[in-house]
Amino acid sequence: MTDDAAAQDSHWWLKWLRRIAKGLVASGGIFVALWGALTWWADYQARLQKEQADRSLALVIAKRDSQKPFLEKQLQFYFEAAKVTAKLATLAQSISDKGPGWEQSWDWAHRRFFELYWGELAVVESPEVAAAMVRFRGPLDNLKLCNSTPTMNCSTEQKSLEQLSLALASQIRKSIEQPWGIELPPLPK
């Protein structure tokens, strides 16, 4: 063997080390490329999810804004229905001359109840509120009939309207929670 051949044989481990180093550099390049691709993909997915969430929120806001005039009118009539039924449940029936203070009378509330019942409220109310108004109407008609007989004590009929007025208020509360995006605490019993 020549000295060169002996030197090459004695440094065989250098050849392997060089090959391993080249392999590691190539693997490192592949690893860096894969890491970069995976990082880009994760960022891309996160951006897509954020854009989708932003679009969903924008749609919810746009829907609520488009419904706002309806919801405001519904809320106005709901409050008026609650006020009118509370008056009918708590005021004594009286014949009024439509003078000053007439809007505080039972007769005014009775008339306004039927205006809401057959008119404005019927346009905007939920089916549950409509059912509560129907449940209120029957005993209200009974009370009106009872009060037309002067010798009758109608306190039982009047008392039944209190619970029905509260039931209507409860249905109104449920009806406004979802579209307005609020959660109201339950009414005490």
Q: pTM for the complete prediction?
A: 0.65
CA–CA distance from 34 to each of 28, 40, 41, 164 (Å)? 10, 10, 10, 69
For 101-159, give the DSSP string.
TGGGSHHHHHHHHHHHHHTHHHHH--HHHHHHHHHHHHHHHHHHHHHTSTT---HHHHH
Q: How far apart are CA 83 and CA 90, in angstroms?
A: 11
Among 157, 94, 90, 81, CA closest to 125: 81
Six token digits for residue 46: 């996160």
How confident is the prediction along the chain (189 residues), in pLDDT tens digits per residue?
Answer: 556 655 556 677 677 777 777 777 777 778 877 888 888 998 999 999 999 999 998 988 888 888 888 989 999 999 999 999 999 998 877 655 555 555 678 888 999 999 999 999 999 999 999 999 999 999 999 888 887 877 778 888 888 899 999 999 999 999 988 887 788 887 676
| Residue 109 CB burial class (10 angstroms; 0-12, 13-18, ≥19) | buried
What is the per-residue pLDDT for 11?
72
What is the per-residue pLDDT for 36?
84
Q: Which residues contact 102 (CB under 8 A, 6 or more apart)?
A: 96, 108
Q: How far apart are CA 95 and CA 107, in angstroms?
A: 7
Q: How far is CA 13 from its chain centroid?
A: 73
Q: How far is CA 176 from its chain centroid?
A: 8
106 and 90 Cβ atoms separated by less than 8 Å: no
Q: How far apart are CA 137 and CA 104, in angstroms?
A: 20
What is the per-residue pLDDT for 52?
94
Q: How far apart are CA 5 and CA 8, in angstroms?
A: 5
| Residue-range domain boundaries for the chain | 68-180
Six token digits for residue 48: 């897509």
